[in-house]
Amino acid sequence: MTVQDLLPSSLDCGDCPIRHRAVCARCESDELKRLEEMKYYKTYEAGQTIVWSGDRMDFVASVVSGIATLTQTMEDGRTQMVGLLLPSDFVGRPGRDTAAYNVTATTDLLMCCFRKKPFEEMMIATPHIGQRLLEMTLDELDAAREWMLLLGRKTAREKIASLLAIVARRDASLKLKSPEGKMVFDLPLTREAMADYLGLTLETVSRQISALKRDGVIELQGKRHVTVPDFDRLLDEAGDDSDGGFLV
């Protein structure tokens, strides 16, 4: 796998990710223009909740910069992350009017939004936008199911390695690898958020990260800055059959 393979085809031009990833892969210019007219930006601070599960959600959006999470919670407080939104990811449920999960900004966040109503009208008027949405939803479904394998069957160490691989791959899509072939990135999540992602406790996350560091699978500068000297080794630790998979 080369660095080129990691580059999502969608991020090579323009300023607003939604143009490429979500909607406009095959847009004619006049449709693009209508989208441009519809879009607006919103910012959120780290920690801020964007919508609560069950709330009315009258927009769809694409993450421009920053990280957000989708989480589900039980009455007693147990929480499970069910989606991780990285830059260029899409959020929103055309055809549904309430949110099914809590959406929370875990870093400062910039989102490119469209009011849902006109977006849906545009979807109906421009069938291939609907097709694109279907494709993206299928991607999300694949990611969710890969994640289910992780939650149900992987060990704590494999879970951590999987998460690191996902973030490394997504991050490498934006930057290039260092000259020596090392992958370098910052963890966008606290230990607690990682635990909620992986179905673990934050203590176990901390221990396993320490273990991977001790065993030379990763290097750590500070608490968040990670260097992966050998990505294949990391994939191996993750127990991933497919090196491609896991779209998130």
Partner DNA sequence: GTCATCGATTGATCTAGGTCAAGGGCTTTG
Partner DNA sequence: CAAAGCCCTTGACCTAGATCAATCGATGAC
Binding site for DNA (CB under 7 A): 155-157, 190-192, 199-207, 209-210, 220, 223-224
Sign of CA dihedral 186, 158, 247, 12: positive
Phi, psi of 104 (to 5 degrees): -130, 135
Total chain residues near a copy of itself (CB under 8 A) = 43
CB of 41 to a copy of itself, least distance (A): 25
Q: Which one of residues 31, 108, 140, 219 is an interface residue with a copy of itself (CB under 8 A)?
A: 140
Q: Are 231 and 168 in contact (CB under 8 A)?
A: yes
**In the set 3, 46, 124, 176, which binds a copy of itself (CB under 8 A)?**
124
For the bound state, the minimum distance from the C-beta of residue 46 to DNA, rounded and expressed in Å, comes to: 8
Judged by beta carbon distances under 5 to 8 A according to partner kind, the member of DNA, a copy of itself, none in contact with residue 141 is a copy of itself
User: Would you count residue 44 as binding a copy of itself (CB under 8 A)?
Assistant: no
Q: Which of 127, 179, 214, 222 binds a copy of itself (CB under 8 A)?
A: 127
Could you say whether residue 79 binds a copy of itself (CB under 8 A)? yes
Nearer to a copy of itself, 101 or 185 (CB): 101
- Contacts by 198-204, CB closer than 8 A, 24 or more apart: 198/150, 198/151, 198/156, 198/159, 198/160, 198/163, 199/80, 199/151, 199/159, 200/156, 200/159, 204/156
27: left (phi over 0), alpha (psi -120 to 50) or beta: beta
CA distances to 2, 70, 149, 184 from 198, in Å? 28, 13, 11, 22
172 or 205: CB nearest a copy of itself: 205
In the sheet with 79-85, reading across from the earlier edge strand, the strands are: 49-51, 102-105, 68-73, 79-85
Asked whether position 146 contacts a copy of itself by CB under 8 A, the answer is: yes
CA 229 centroid distance within chain: 23
> Whose Cβ is closer to a copy of itself: residue 142's or residue 186's?
142
* Complex with DNA: residue 131 or 210, whichever CB lies closer: 210
Binding string, 157-196, against a copy of itself, x = CB under 8 A?
----------------------------------------
Distance of closest approach, residue 170 Cβ to a copy of itself, in angstroms: 19
Q: Which does 221 bind (CB under 5 to 8 A by kind): a copy of itself, DNA, none?
A: none
Instruction: Choose one: 44-52, 137-145, 176-184, 203-211; the region binding a copy of itself (CB under 8 A).
Output: 137-145
